[in-house]
A and B are shown apart, each in its own frame.
Chain A
Amino acid sequence: MQLSPEQLEFFAEDVSVKIIPNFSLSRASQGSAHCIGGDYGPFQPNFPMEVPLWLALYLHRHKKCRIEAPDWMSIDSLQGLYEQERLIAAGFQPIPYHYIEVSRLLLMFAKDSFGNSFHRTRELVEMIRKVRFNKIDSGLQILQGPMTVKLNNLSAMELNTIRPFFAGALDQFWKLAQMEEPQELSLQPSATYTQGSAEPPVRQLRRGVAA
């Protein structure tokens, strides 16, 4: 079963980000929020601190904090990343696992975190996404036969997007490879030579199914 993009976004909301709150909580809870997933706080006005993204977005929506864009989302590092990604054709650059989801959420709901560089940031993220997807595409095109493939530095959304196709193709390759084996063990190997030359691919398949 596939994970849905909404679920991935939900998972991405556990990534921690830096916020600058403009409120404090009452003394009764020592100024902190004691959540099931951990304690967050103490919140003090203008005192930067780390909280999960879901909490940051919630507070931001209620005008209770300013979210600081993560370091990797600065123009400089995105620019550098983009160039590296284009320069080095083999493999992928390390990037936060949920970069697509996090950047989408921040660019959509916390525009003020980016100030003047908002449009440039959005553009760069989009460009990086495209370069990477192009690489994935060309990687998938050379796929042949059953194999195990290393996918280091791919992100959650990228993996999930190629999952149905990639896993499906490998499943089929595997199935076909399993079918070819009985042919090698065939009792009449000569038959393959004499008749096989006429229409080899069809023959191979038919034998496979029968076996």
Chain B
Amino acid sequence: MASQDAPGSSQVDFANLYGESDVSIIKQALISEQVCPEILQYQEDLVQRLESQISNQEATIQELNKHAEQDLLKMIYTVEVQRVKYSLRCYLRARLKKLEQHVMHCLDDPEVKERLSEKEVKYAEDYFLLLGQHISTNVLSAMPQDFKGLLRQSSVSDANDTLARPNLDTHVFCKVLEDQGNVEVDDNGDTVDFSKDDLYIVRYRPIRDLVRDNWVQLI
């Protein structure tokens, strides 16, 4: 079922190379999203595929309602659809939570904004508007003239310095999917040998690219 890609889609889906179903891919996506300090690339194709599979399956269940003797099959399908929906919900919620935590950072940094879905950008903007209004009326209005900025601590700051950013130096658990040889985990040039199936606890920043390119999996 994993191959319902839109024809002509040039994007290579690495996860599918392992022959996994969309259900196990969303499971991994949701784990990564929950344990990763920063917001990851939105899996647009995956979510779309799953949504259409869920509605197909729900149509099948409707169809089965007409046949009383197929009750068991109907219940199996219902249970599974609920499981898939739960995974999808967890995935989207984990993203929203991080989005709210670092809303200004997400909107400020174009590279991060790229990773959000259209709906998430809309959500972030609305949220930021409400948050900004709230802080302006309740806090900033009572501050001295030079300290009224929402994005800058004072008018002499040379950059936006009130933005909460995710801490990329937190430690994460990860599993190595393919042999990586020695990976630099420190600024001092310390390396660790990443072999297939090894589990490590490691600072997120040095393995950030490996996670993005799916060589290493967060667990």
Secondary structure type dominating chain B contacts: helix
Chain A residues with Cβ under 8 A from B190's Cβ? 148
Query: A148, B201: Cβ atoms under 8 Å?
Result: yes
Q: Mark B11-24, 1 if CB is under 8 A from A, else 0.
A: 00000000001111
Count contacts on B: residues with CB < 8 A to the other chain. Answer: 49
Chain A residues with Cβ under 8 A from B203's Cβ? 146, 148, 170, 174
Chain A residues with Cβ under 8 A from B72's Cβ? 23, 25, 62, 64
Chain A residues with Cβ under 8 A from B201's Cβ? 148-149, 151, 166-167, 170
Query: A1, B80: Cβ atoms under 8 Å?
Result: no
Cross-interface CB contact of A14 among B27, B53, B77, cutoff 8 Å: B27
Interface-located stretch among A26-34, A121-129, A194-202: A26-34
Interface-located stretch among B112-120, B127-135, B154-162, B166-174: B166-174
Query: A11, B34: Cβ atoms under 8 Å?
Result: no
Task: Given contacts A148-B202, A167-B201, list 13 more A-B pairs with CB under 8 A.
Answer: A7-B90, A10-B83, A14-B23, A33-B77, A35-B80, A36-B54, A54-B79, A62-B72, A151-B201, A153-B199, A159-B199, A166-B201, A174-B203
* A residues adjacent to B (C-beta < 8 A): 1-3, 7, 10-11, 13-14, 23, 25-26, 28-29, 33, 35-38, 54-55, 58, 62, 64, 146, 148-154, 156, 159, 163, 166-167, 170-171, 174-175
Q: List 29 A-B contacts (CB under 8 A).
A: A3-B34, A7-B90, A23-B72, A25-B72, A26-B67, A28-B67, A28-B70, A29-B70, A33-B76, A35-B57, A35-B76, A36-B23, A37-B22, A54-B80, A55-B76, A55-B80, A58-B75, A62-B72, A148-B190, A148-B192, A151-B199, A151-B201, A159-B173, A163-B173, A167-B172, A167-B173, A170-B201, A171-B169, A171-B170
